[in-house]
Structure 1
Amino acid sequence: MTALWSIVIPTFHRPALLRQAVQSCMTARRPDGVALEIVVVDNSATGDAAGVCREMGFGDIRYVHEPRPGLAHARNRGIDEARGEVLLFLDDDEHADENWLVEIDRAFQASGADILCGWIEPDFAVAPERMTAYVTDFYRRDVKRPSGADVSDILNYVGSGNSAFRRTRCFGGGIRVDERFNHFGSEDIQLFRTLVAAGLRIAWAPHAIVHEYIPVERASVSYLKARRRLQGQQRVFGLAIGGPRQKLKVPVFMAGGAAQAGLHTLLWLCSIVSGRRDRATEHAIEIEGGLGKVFWTGASHRRIYGKSPD
């Protein structure tokens, strides 16, 4: 008996990267007895991803236009459109290894989990000349746990890019992505938090590998600082809008953020004095993460995602 799997790829004005993402899915080895549909959810107002799907001949590709801007709208539309027993999310700036689907299948069978999150390896447009190890680790997803390990307790270190869900178990009861995160990001972390609260389990699948394209600007120090601060803000905001037990964690995270900023400030000063310029820059980036946890209020009102490209 053939099982259907659905790969959902939300996209927004990135035709070249989308083409690479779709092609990697089409050429990936499929587990025995698995058929595939690729659902491209175009979140642009103009529907410009239709041309990419048309060029690739459709076939297993199903094009869906979701003109309401926002990450949550796009992911929810993909969830609603998917027909497979397993739903996989791949971002449009990612491409999968040849054995990605086979390794997802193995991890599901071995772990018995409801949700899987796999390894992400950065694919730099230009290899960073400074802080190479730090910048690589910044974008690499490696939770440093054994294959099949439960990672439900470290939601902040996983994400929806390269994730797989038992669709009926996870979404059959009406759980969807919180639309308050449409333009702020971290909508996937909040989704995982909701699923875990519902009793579902997330496992680590390190052999299911995808590569994320990192353009030059996203390896700059200014971008890394802004992103680390945003990550801190996202984590606390997600707790602040949760239930009473989640809200109680807000002051704890804020205090932790203050301690993080203070510690890295001290380490930054030591690095400056010792002439370790790159290490000082790394600590300066981590200071921003701590400050984000402290100064998080109001940040969610900024429109960070969903802007049209210049």
Structure 2
Amino acid sequence: MPMAPHTRLISVCICTFRRPDGLRRALESAFALQIPSGCTLELLVVDNDASGSASTVVDSFRAFTTEIRSLRYVNEPTPGVSHARNRCLESAAGEMLAFFDDDEFVKPDWLVELLACTDRTQADAVFGPVLPSFEIPPTPWALASGVHDRQRFPSGTVLPWREARTGNVALRRSMLAGGHRFSTEFARTGGEDSLFFATAQSQGRKLVWCDEAIVHESVPAQRMEPTWILHRAFMGGRTYVRLEARLGHRLPYTTFALRGLVASVVSLATVAALYLRGDARHVRHLCRLYGHLGKIMARFYSYGPYAGDA
């Protein structure tokens, strides 16, 4: 029986930087994906290491390609996540582009669920949950911090841009109209995806949640250490203010520094009271305190290491 024509090309994009084991696991899950009816699949790996270190891993999967599931490798030597994501946008050939990261792996029905939700809701971009997959049993401190917990919504919920991330998303190529790209101002700090979707939403684009399209994120032991968690909270507060500045908030650095100062005093008192009572919730409030400190210091830390680099 002749095969039905496959007319809809979907590009699944994975940005990677010196994570060979993570990339291998990501590609294993990508090659296990169910391909939606009437579609062909392009797997696109963009390597942000100028030395091309990911090419060996990608080459090891070439034997698994088929007529309806291709594999492409592109090197983006300019360092920074924004440059890698923009290279995906420029290199992908699909009418739909789906993203997940090199420290993540997807369920076999992930793409089917994303596309079905996109068609059902007529959304411009559809997002799904990213669930932690701990490489060792999570520490009580890490669990109490809530840093690896992400809010979930009923499928079909229209999302505010603050809940929009590239770790699990499918978007229409029409989102790129007018040269819409990820800002390189956030290439080394993160937040480029928030700005991308905030701008899109301001232009009338519809962002929707699909709770069935599940991605798992590997959480190594290092990401359960207090130093990593608190650094991430600080970076998040700092980046939040920079985003507000970029989006046109009036006097953002002054406003959020003052708010952060007041909130820091409250958080510090709460941390002390809970800690003295032996209440584990003090950890979550300590993370909030570091987030407020990041807002206070946002003006003086415009650049720095991306919290997700480690």
Asked whether the 8 Å contact 1:10–1:43 carries over to 2, the reply is yes
Following superposition, the deviation at residue 272 of structure 1 comes to 2.3
Name the counterpart of 2:148: 139
Runs of 5+ in structure 1 lacking a partner? none
TM norm structure 2: 0.90
Q: Secondary structure at the match of 1:35?
A: strand
1:209-254: per-residue Cα shift (whole Å, max 9, x none)? Answer: 00011110111111111101110110110111333xx335555544
In structure 2, the residue matched to 1:290 is 292
Matched residues in 1 for 2:190 and 2:40: separation? 32
Tell me, yes or no, if the aligned pair for 1:6 and 1:37 is still in contact at 8 Å: yes
> Which one of 273, 276, 279 corresponds to residue 273 of structure 1?
276
* Counterparts of 1:149 and 1:57, CA distance in 2: 38
Residue matched to 1:28: 33
Counterpart for residue 267 of structure 2? 264
CA distance in 2, matches of 1:166, 1:44: 27
Contact kept, 8 Å, 1:6 with 1:83, in 2: the verdict is yes
Distance 1:251 1:11 in 2: 36
1:96 to 103, 106, 112: 106
Query: What SS does the corresponding residue of 1:238 show, helix, strand or coil?
Result: helix
Amino acid at match of 2:151: D
Equivalent residue, structure 2, for 1:159: 165
- Which of the residues 293, 298, 301 maps onto 1:299? 301
Deviations 1:107-138 (A, max 9, x none): 11222110111100011111223146435x42
SS at match of 1:123: strand
Local SS of the residue matching 1:208: coil
2:158 alignment counterpart? 150
CA distance in 1, matches of 2:163, 2:292: 16
Contact 1:69/1:306 (CA < 8 Å) preserved in 2? no
Q: Distance in 1 between matches of 2:48 and 2:132?
A: 24
Q: What is the Cα deviation at residue 72 of structure 1?
A: 0.8
Distance 2:43 2:231 in 1: 33
The answer for the alignment partner of 1:183 in structure 2 is 188
Q: Alignment partner of 1:67: what SS?
A: coil
Higher mean C-alpha displacement, 289-298 vs 213-222: 289-298
2:76/2:87 contact within 8 Å kept: yes
CA RMSD across the alignment: 2.0
Count of residues paired in the alignment: 300
- 8 Å CA contact 1:10, 1:41 repeated in 2: yes
The alpha-carbon deviation at position 44 of structure 1 amounts to: 0.2
Q: How does 1:59-138 map to 2 (within 5 A)?
A: 59=65, 60-131=70-141, 133-135=143-145, 137-138=146-147
109 and 255 in structure 1: CA distance in 2 versus 1, 3 angstrom threshold: farther
Tell me if structure 1 keeps the 8 A contact 2:115–2:170: no
Q: 1:251 to 1:106 in 2, by over 3 A?
A: farther
C-alpha distance in 2, partners of 1:233/1:164? 28
Q: How far, CA to CA, are the matches of 1:66 and 1:237 in structure 2?
A: 25
Matched residue, 2:3: none
- Give the distance between the partners of 1:133 and 1:10, measured in 2 at CA: 28
User: What is the one-letter code of the residue matched to 1:224?
Assistant: I
1:219 and 1:260 mapped to 2: Cα distance? 25
Partners in 2 of 1:227 and 1:306 — Cα distance? 8
User: SS at the partner of 1:247?
Assistant: coil
Choose which of 218, 221, 236 in structure 1 pairs with 2:226: 221
Q: In 2 relative to 1, CA 286–210 (structure 1 residues): closer, same or farther, beyond 3 Å?
A: same
Q: Say if 1:255 and 1:21 are closer, same or farther in 2 by CA, change over 3 A.
A: same
Partners of 1:99 and 1:131 in 2: CA distance: 33
Q: Letter of the aligned partner of 1:268 in structure 2?
A: V
Q: Distance in 2 between matches of 1:110 and 1:256?
A: 41
The alpha-carbon deviation at position 106 of structure 1 amounts to: 1.8
Unaligned 5+ runs, structure 2: 1-5
Per the normalisation by structure 1, the TM-score is: 0.90
**Closer/same/farther in 2, CA of residues 129 and 184 from structure 1, 3 Å limit:** closer
Question: How far off is 1:306 after superposition?
Answer: 9.5
1:241 aligned partner, one-letter code: R
CA distance in 1, matches of 2:300, 2:259: 19
